[in-house]
Amino acid sequence: MKKRLLVLGIGNPGREDDGLGYEFVLSAQRTPCETVEFHHAYQLNIEDAERIQAYENVLIVDAARGLQSPYELSPIAPKESGSFTTHSLSMPNVVAIAEELYSSTPACKLLAIRGQSFEMRNGLSAAGTEALQAALHFFWSPTQSNWLPGC
Amino acid sequence: MTRKIVIEPVTRVEGHGKVTLHLGATNKVEEARLHIVEFRGFEKFIQGRPYWEAPVLVQRLCGICPVSHHLAAAKAIDRIVGVGPGEITAVAEKMRRLMHYGQIFQSHALHFFYLAAPDLLFGLDADPLKRNVLGVIREHKELALKGIKLRKFGQEIIKATAGKKIHGISAVPGGIHKNLSKKEIRYFTNGKEVPSVSSCIEWMEEILDFMRDYHAKNREWVDGFCHFPSNHMSLVGADGEMDLYHGKLRAIDSRGTTILNDVDYEDYIDHLGESVKEWTYLKFPYLKNIGPAEGWNRVGPLSRLNVCEGIPTPRAQKRLEEYRSFAGERVVNRSLYYHWARLVEMLHCAEYMHQLLNDDDLQGETLVVKGNRRREGIGVIEAPRGTLLHHYGVSEKDEIIRCNLIVSTTHNNEAMNRSVRIVADKAISGQPEITEPMLNEIETAIRAYDPCLSCATHAVGEMPLKVELFNNDGKLLQERLR
């Protein structure tokens, strides 16, 4: 039986707001919830297809530039891309690989959090911290309770 | 009119490089170069940091082989705290070895299954939309699934021994931060969440059968592709056997004559020099007794199999004998044999990890030893891509004041440039039109070395292949993107 929800934070906490996905996971997993599992990675890899195929729902959390609001939620549809390097594997690509290899297509969404500064320093910018708090508030809000049964 | 072709970036390699080709009037390749266009400066900015930070800081060079940098630095820093090779405790050495062999296993798996296999399975002239890892997944599902699981096994070994899959922290000056419990070991032997180490061995045997048959079916192409003489260098154990963690430095020429005879790597400065060229950030190492023109070496799996007397695990030793027998020569200078050699090493790593996971020394409790403080330390290790050297000088205040790193890909710099030139000349010279498969042939030659041109932590983004054609006035004549 598949597990309910995986929250997968993406990013490098050594590059300021690039670590928003990591910080999101760190903060969110402080609230115990049996039906949600958390994981963090610097970047997506092919092995993540194996990871996500075991879940009904997957929320990928990543920093983004240029958002109009502090965070944005959008669905991720499987889409193959011919190009591959270990430096860049897109979210739709990972979902497509899960579908191809494991005949599994979890419902995937991207929670993009607005970042402002991506220099080589630990810690979030003030604007990044503010956006993170807004995204966490949204994540735990009752309107999202269909993701978080029993929490 | 001369023409210049630029391939930037080179795809399916680790990091960012570009190739330039200069064509003469009859489309003859007059010059071919692999440029490494990233500058990282680790040797400089680590200066002033306390020496004990080196194993954790310097591994940030790379997101694919950080364990190699972590351990090469740890070996160097062992010397600074007065601990020589063989003086760390059994648990510390075996934990480090397990971490290292897990690292090589996962790195080789990544390269073979994700980066190299598309060329081998589909051919160099296949549609690029098919000639990639997704094509492998679609048409060779079982192979792809095994590739993913094998890499995962190696990554989980790293996590168990180093604390994290990327940028671990457990090798400390004079030893190791943790041991491995029996419970942790069962994760790698019961086959529940990751394939058991025994399954990894069996799968590698199957994949080596595939590779042997592939070579037999494609012998003319594989043997003839980018075949050129070179020296080869690696660490070897006390009896000349393959040892990826520790040993003496040995080099042989293209026919097997020893040209560097098992020297202590702490004396490397007497034997190895580095030259520079204005068009690349990558240096060109060479043996001082021969000089820069002829003293350059290939390193990595091909060279390790050429240099070693044998492999100290039984199945891999048999596969080495099969490999040498098939090649029909003691020293293989054929570049595409890198892939086969890489798979032989994966089998060796799997066998060696099996041995270590059954070794009670991993539960030892004396993790760290200390000796008399020194001001200098040198550590060398066989990283996935070849011989990796770290050298640190430390002040009385414990600050690093000097650092020299010679990374594996640097040793292969001259060989990669020659490979580009040879393949470009054969594939492109005299051709009226430059096609995508011709350019891929050049990339295939570079990929054989599995170069690690940078680390995996720089900015993520689109990496299209861009080819620009200029006339001799620098005017852009044609541009192609893929």
B100 contacts B245 by C-beta, under 8 angstroms: yes
Tell me how many residue pairs between chain A and chain B have CB atoms under 8 A apart.
73
- Per run of 10 residues, the mean pLDDT along chain B (length 482 residues) is 63 63 78 68 85 86 82 96 94 98 95 90 85 86 94 95 82 95 96 95 97 97 96 98 98 98 97 86 90 96 98 98 97 98 98 98 96 96 95 95 90 92 88 82 89 43 41 54 42
ipTM entry: 0.78
Q: What is the CATH number of domain A3-144?
A: 3.40.50.1450
Dihedral of the CA atoms B220, B33, B29, B11 (nearest 10)?
60
Range of the domain at B443: 3-38+431-481
Q: Which residues of A touch B152 (CB under 8 A)?
A: 47, 50
pLDDT in the model for residue B270:
97
pLDDT at residue B462, as a whole number: 31
pTM of the model: 0.88
SS3 B264: coil
Instruction: Report pLDDT for B291.
Output: 95
Within a domain: B152: no
| DSSP classification of residue B473 | T
Which is nearest to B390 in space by CA: B400, B403, B409, B375? B403
The token pair that represents A136 in the structure block: 């966490």
Q: Give the amino acid at B187.
A: Y
Domain edge (last residue) among B333, B367, B398 = B333
What pLDDT sits at residue A146? Answer: 65
Domain end marker among B272, B299, B333? B333
Mean pLDDT computed over every residue of chain A: 87
Q: Which residues in chain B have their CB less than 8 angstroms from residue A80's CB?
A: 134
- pLDDT for position A86: 52
Q: How far is B462 from chain A (nearest CA, A)?
A: 7
pLDDT (tens digit per residue) in A87-114: 567 889 899 999 989 988 899 999 999 9
User: Is B214 among the domain residues?
Assistant: no
Q: What is the count of structural domains for chain B?
A: 2
pLDDT above 50 for A124: yes
Distance of alpha carbon A115 from alpha carbon A27, whole angstroms: 17
Residue B323 belongs to a domain: yes
Position of tokens 């929800």? A5
- Write the residue in B64, B151, B459 that is nearest to A47 by C-beta: B151
Final residue in a domain of this structure, among B333, B353, B370: B333
Q: Is residue B14 a contact partner of residue A86, using CB atoms and an 8 Å limit?
A: yes
- Domain range summary for chain A, segments of one domain joined by +: 3-144
Helical ranges in B280-313 per DSSP H = 301-307
Residues B419, B335: contact at Cβ < 8 Å?
yes
CA distances from B277 to A2, A133, B414, B453 (A): 56, 50, 11, 16
Asked whether residue B454 is assigned to any structural domain, the reply reads yes
Alpha-carbon gap: A144 to the closest alpha carbon of chain B (Å) = 30
Check if the beta carbon of residue A4 is closer than 8 Å to that of residue A11: no
Binning pLDDT at 50, 70 and 90, where does residue A4 land? Answer: confident
How close does chain B come to A82, measured CA to CA in Å? Answer: 5
Q: Domain for residue B74, yes or no?
A: no
Contact yes or no for B133 and A83 at CB 8 A: no
Domain-embedded: residue B313: yes
Our CA angle for B199, B205, B206, nearest 5°, is 90
Check residue B12 and give its pLDDT. 53
